[in-house]
Amino acid sequence: MKQVKASVIISVYNRFDFLQLVLAGLEIQTEQDFEVIVSDDGSNEQFVRQLDTLIQASPLRLQHNWHADDGFRKNQILNSSIRLATGAQLIFLDGDCIPHPAFIAEHLAHGGPGKCLAGRRIDMSDRLTRQLTPEYVRQGILQRPITMIGQLTDFLLRRTFHFMNGFYVTNPLLRRYFNRKERGLLGANFSVMKADLEAINGFDERYTAPTFGEDSDVDFRLRLHGIQIIPVLNIAVTYHCHHKLLPRPEVSKALYEQVVRDRIAFTPYGLVQR
- Nearest one of 183, 180, 187 to 238, comparing CA atoms: 187
151/135 Cα distance (integer angstroms): 19
- pLDDT beyond 70 at 163: no
CA distances from 220 to 26, 143, 259, 262 (A): 29, 33, 9, 11
| Residue 234 region by backbone torsions, left for phi larger than 0, else alpha for psi between -120 and 50, else beta | left
Q: What is the pLDDT of residue 15?
A: 95
pLDDT band (50, 70, 90) for residue 244: confident
In the predicted model, is pLDDT for residue 191 greater than 60?
A: yes
Phi, psi of 224, rounded to the nearest 5 degrees:
-60, -35
Query: What number is the average pLDDT over the span 191-198?
Result: 98
In the chain, the percentage of residues whose pLDDT exceeds 90 is: 75
Looking at every residue in the chain, the average pLDDT score rounds to 91
Q: How far apart are the first and last CA of the chain?
A: 31
Indicate if the pLDDT at residue 156 is higher than 60: no
Residue 180 CB burial class (10 angstroms; 0-12, 13-18, ≥19): exposed
Q: Mind listing the pLDDT tens digit for each residue in 143-152?
A: 886 666 666 5
Mean pLDDT throughout 159-178?
79
Q: Note the pLDDT of residue 157.
A: 47
Reading across the β-sheet that carries 120-123, which strands appear in turn?
Answer: 97-99, 237-240, 120-123
Q: What percent of the chain has pLDDT above 70?
A: 91
88: three-class secondary structure by DSSP:
coil
CA–CA distance from 226 to each of 114, 166, 219, 247 (Å)? 7, 30, 11, 33
> What pLDDT, in 10s, does the model give residues 90-142?
999 999 999 999 999 999 999 999 999 999 988 888 888 998 999 999 999 88
Q: What does DSSP say about strands 34-40 and 62-66: parallel, antiparallel, or unpaired?
A: parallel
- Per-residue pLDDT tens over the stretch 212-222: 778 999 999 99
Q: What is the DSSP string of 205-232?
A: TT--STTTIIIIIHHHHHHHTT-EEEE-
> Amino acid identity of 152?
L
Band of the pLDDT at 53, cuts 50, 70, 90?
A: very high
- Average pLDDT rounded to a whole number, residues 83-90: 98
**pLDDT digits over 171-180, tens only?**
999 999 999 9
CB 207 within 8 A of CB 255: yes
Return d(Cα 203, Cα 232) in angstroms, integer.
22
> Which residues neighbour 2 within 8 Å (Cβ) at sequence distance 6 or greater?
none
Domains of the chain: 6-262 (3.90.550.10)
pLDDT category of residue 78 using cuts at 50, 70 and 90? very high
- Distance set, CA 178 to CA 142, 159, 188 (Å): 21, 21, 19
Q: Which candidate, 17, 12, 18, places its Cα nearest to that of 69?
A: 12
* Residue 240 reports pLDDT greater than 60: yes
Average pLDDT over residues 45-49: 98
The predicted pLDDT at position 167 comes to 82
